[in-house]
Structure 1
Amino acid sequence: MASQGTFSDEPLSPAGRLFTDPKTDVIIHIIACGKDTIDIDFAKSVLESSVMVQHPRFCSLLVRDKDGLEHWRRTKIDIDQHVIVFDKCLDKSGKFIEGTSQGFTDDGEEAVNQYVADLSVSSPLSADKPLWEIHLLMAHKCAVFRIHHALGDGFSLMSMLMAGCGKVDEGDDRRDVIVHRVAPTKSVESKGRKRRDWCWLLCAISGFLKMIRYTLVFVVEFLLMNLFVCDKRTVISGGDGVELWPRKLATAKFLLEDMKEVKKVIPNTTINDVLYAVISSGLSRYLEHRTPNASHEGLRLTGVAMVNLRPNPGVQELSEVMKNNSEARWGNKFGAILLPVYYHKAGNDPLEWLKRAKVTVDRKKHSLEAYVTYRLRDLVMTLLGPKYPCLFYYKLLCNTTFTISNFMGPLEKITIAGYPVSSIKFNTSSLPQALSIYMLSYVGRVEMQLLVAKDIIPDPEFLAKCFEDALLEMRMAAIGINTA
């Protein structure tokens, strides 16, 4: 048990309140799989002494006062209430099979995906305990972390994960490997000074005017999508109430080396540009497959992307994140931007997708869209309460086609509770959109989770293959150019 001590209730942040409304209630799922059988008693003992259960958010109840305002109230932790153990195997439909044992050898990725997909619909976390759980799927050597979004965003949770993880050292016993801390990934800040000449001044003025222009255009577009404008209906469109529809979950897998090969073709291109191009090409392929005779040329599908607003995009030390005055502080500090995808039939040059993606992303980088939407959300929350921002956010999701969330994970193999992790990916509970896309990199691989409403998108495995094929075609075209 963690000691309770004496603490006063702490009010939720505006963003935290957003995720406690019934219409926008979101739970983050982190799936960590390995190859070793999990020792339950050992795992619990490590968890009891971990930084996670000592963190104020992870040992606090969500309570409401007489005025309906939410607060965090410190409480004691009972590990047995948070660690849920399943010994049985899962079939492909995500249901437990009677009479199976831990001798099951298949990693069962499809079965685990469906289990998590079922959790994503109408499976809230109990308010009688802190808002997190760990489901241990013993037969599949897999742990599923369920953490309420009100506790923190992906940046905060990844800092927490890194603080409690170890680095895999070959030959070490799993009970010792946890002591080897994983160094956080930090971006390198340039210390050089820019030339202060007329050319630099003109470029600065031009950049400032461009920022103002793009910010105004994109923020107005964002507000219109919140209130009036919606995407044209297609075979992958969701809408009001779709968050309650049954889900399927599929995984597309990529190599970072392939993406790096592709981004070499165009100077100053990033991995995010390549991912955006892959999504654009993959969705066009899928629409062509589902509606081959329809005329979709130029059709716009709008994605909602979440952007971390902390000054350093890399994962930082948990002690730095926990400082109240830190710019990298704990919590939910992100804005939203719109990323439009336009349908085009497959042409002779797969790299055209990358060129279009880079133009769009560069314009977004020149704007303050994410920062302004973050501030607007907090302002409306402060002035009008949580009801209206929740309605606006829900309306935005209903008016757009899909959500994108992308995060950089560990660069080295890690251990959790002393167990080496071979695969790690994440997703969230269901949204009113029929398609949500979640990407996490881990040791040279990127795994893209596709959470879909299965009555609208019945074949997410084929959609995953569309994305994989899109990258492979771009890579082959890039190899031809890079070796020429």
Structure 2
Amino acid sequence: MACPETTSDEPLTPAGRLFLQPQTNVVIHCILRGKKPGDIDAIKSTIRSSLMVQHPRFCSLLVRDKNSFEHWRRTQIDIDRHVIVINNRLDKSGNLVDEPQGPTTEEDDEAAANQYVADLSVSCPLSMDKPLWELHILMAHKCAVFRIHHALGDGISLMSMLMASCRRTDDADALPRLVPDKRPEIKGGKGRNWFWLFGVLWWVLKMVLYTLAFSVEFVLRTFLVSDEKTVITGGDGVELWPRKLVTAKFLLDDMKVVKRAVPNTTINDVLLGVVSSGLSRYLDHRTPNALRDGLRMTGVAMVNIRAQPGLQELSELIKNKSDARWGNKFGVILLPVYYHKSGNDPLECLKRAKATVDKKKHSLEAILSYWIGDLVMSLLGAKYACMLNYKLLCNTTFTISNVVGPLEEISLAGNPLSSIKVNTSSLPQAITMHMLSYAGKAEMQILVAKDIIPDPEFLAKCFEDALLEMKEAALEK
């Protein structure tokens, strides 16, 4: 299939160039588990007719000119080179096996697929002699792994692309329904007085103060300040260490019960509270009585900075002058969580998380981090921007993201999907976490350096138990 011809190459965006540097060469992995084995011909046919292969990013080669500047150059797509079929089963270590030893379960299939992706995240960069995406189909496990280079776009762009290719299982002609964006109501001007004006001025003052404080912290965290060393700390070179991928599973209804226990709380607040409590549980297990109460661990979170939040209409993303815009349109914020010994009120973690997130949302930290990165790329080049980004990751403890998925079950190429999970290739941190909700469930993929986190299944259980404990406390309240 050929893309529309163009007379000139298109230069990469600053963010795209950053993700091509050796230390930040990031690939997004989307694991799609079906309810039945995939039909290869149907999958290839769906890809050929999809909007994806009509998008310039998915039918362009990465090339470098004589000055080593990167550009996108349109090319023809050979679907057979992008669809990789693996017919043999995999064991839990990710090795190919001829015949399974005894009966297999869904948990075995999930573990095998997770380990396969964990191995890809360290040892298998995408080939530069074709457009930077692949689809790996694990026939024996009813699973497909969509690999997309981060230079092509961020999670919002790529999930919006995926949703445009899927259909609801209860209506084969309908696109997936997504969680609606709830915007705050803007009240009319009636009754405004000096108290209203004072409130607005106080709101603006707080935004300025929070932005200044978080910007200074961001710079210090990049250059000078690092988290205290613990048994879960990564660092320089850890991105090359062997990985293991596990899944923590939550029910959105449970998260909503917890959310209602504290007024004006969001699912993201609950997620951060679960991470804080879960990491404290895990550290209690690994280093009992060895850590001081209140020890800070800093997370790096990606925030969509498009004018329209949430997943986007694909037609809007493709428009060059759209506020939504395709590509990497996200900023970075720092999210501190704190170690506390067990025995405290489980909802305290949620209250601390909410207070932190509320301040972050009231600042321009995410937008400023995007502008700072863009400025460094423009003035100093990709090498120095990569160095600063890598240093920030080395000075923090974990990375976390959350993407909202469809409300109901969906199908792709006629195959109903039982789950959708996302993660990225390895970073210098020992823990990266990516949560995606799907049809009333939320699954968090936890990619760990297994020499630092030798028991990742227990870490996942710590997060699951943290949510259940918070739910019990919420129901008792």
Q: TM-score range by the shorter chain?
A: over 0.9
Q: Distance in 2 between matches of 1:144 and 1:34?
A: 11
Q: Which deviates more, 413-422 or 299-308?
A: 413-422
Kept in 1: contact 2:176–2:407 (CA 8 A): no
Q: What letter is aligned with 2:335?
A: L
Q: Call closer, same or farther: CA 1:473–1:99 in 2, change over 3 Å.
A: closer
Q: What letter is aligned with 1:166?
A: R
What does 1:181-260 align with in structure 2 at a 5 Å threshold? 181-189=175-183, 190=185, 192-195=187-190, 196-260=192-256
Q: For 2:30, what is the secondary structure of its paired residue?
A: strand
Structure 1 spans left out of the alignment, 5+ residues: 171-176
Q: What letter is aligned with 2:13?
A: S
Matched, 1:363 2:359: yes
Matched, 1:267 2:267: no
Q: Which deviates more, 288-297 or 18-27?
A: 288-297
Matched, 1:128 2:122: no
Q: Call closer, same or farther: CA 1:19–1:167 in 2, change over 3 Å.
A: same
Q: Distance in 1 between matches of 2:435 and 2:3?
A: 37
Match of residue 173 from structure 1: none
Match of residue 372 from structure 2: 376
Match of residue 17 from structure 2: 17
Kept in 2: contact 1:261–1:479 (CA 8 A): yes
Q: What letter is aligned with 1:35?
A: K
Q: Distance in 1 between matches of 2:312 and 2:394?
A: 34
Q: For 2:126, what is the secondary structure of its paired residue?
A: coil
Match of residue 301 from structure 1: 297
TM superposition shift of 1:3: 4.2
Kept in 1: contact 2:430–2:449 (CA 8 A): yes
TM superposition shift of 1:98: 2.2
Query: 1:368-407 CA deviation, whole Å, 9 max, x = no partner?
Result: 1111010000011111111111100000001111101111
Kept in 1: contact 2:177–2:406 (CA 8 A): no
Query: 1:207-264 CA deviation, whole Å, 9 max, x = no partner?
Result: 1110111111111011011111111111000010000000001100001111111111
Match of residue 437 from structure 2: 441
TM superposition shift of 1:311: 2.0
Provide the aligned length of Structure 1 versus Structure 2: 473
Matched, 1:168 2:164: no
TM superposition shift of 1:188: 4.7
Q: What letter is aligned with 1:64?
A: R
Matched, 1:83 2:78: no
Structure 2 spans left out of the alignment, 5+ residues: none
TM superposition shift of 1:192: 4.3
Query: 1:83-141 CA deviation, whole Å, 9 max, x = no partner?
Result: 0000111101011112469x966461111111100000021000000000000000010
Q: Call closer, same or farther: CA 1:15–1:194 in 2, change over 3 Å.
A: farther
Q: For 2:432, what is the secondary structure of its paired residue?
A: strand
Q: For 1:72, what is the secondary structure of its paired residue?
A: strand
Matched, 1:140 2:136: no
Kept in 2: contact 1:186–1:312 (CA 8 A): no
TM superposition shift of 1:325: 1.1
TM superposition shift of 1:184: 4.9
Match of residue 63 from structure 1: 63
Q: State, as a whole percentage, how many aligned pairs show the same letter.
A: 67
Q: What letter is aligned with 1:397?
A: L
What does 1:94-109 align with in structure 2 at a 5 Å threshold? 94-99=94-99, 106=106, 108-109=109-110
Q: Distance in 2 between matches of 1:291 and 1:149?
A: 36
Q: Distance in 2 between matches of 1:428 and 1:131?
A: 14
Match of residue 388 from structure 1: 384
Match of residue 153 from structure 1: 154
Query: 1:415-474 CA deviation, whole Å, 9 max, x = no partner?
Result: 112211110010000000001011111111110111000000011100000000000001
Query: 1:154-206 CA deviation, whole Å, 9 max, x = no partner?
Result: 01011101111111127xxxxxx3x4322455425546435532222111100
Q: For 2:289, what is the secondary structure of its paired residue?
A: coil
RMSD: 1.6
Kept in 2: contact 1:2–1:48 (CA 8 A): no
TM-score (norm 2): 0.96
Matched, 1:310 2:306: yes
Kept in 2: contact 1:4–1:76 (CA 8 A): no
Q: Distance in 1 between matches of 2:53 and 2:178?
A: 20
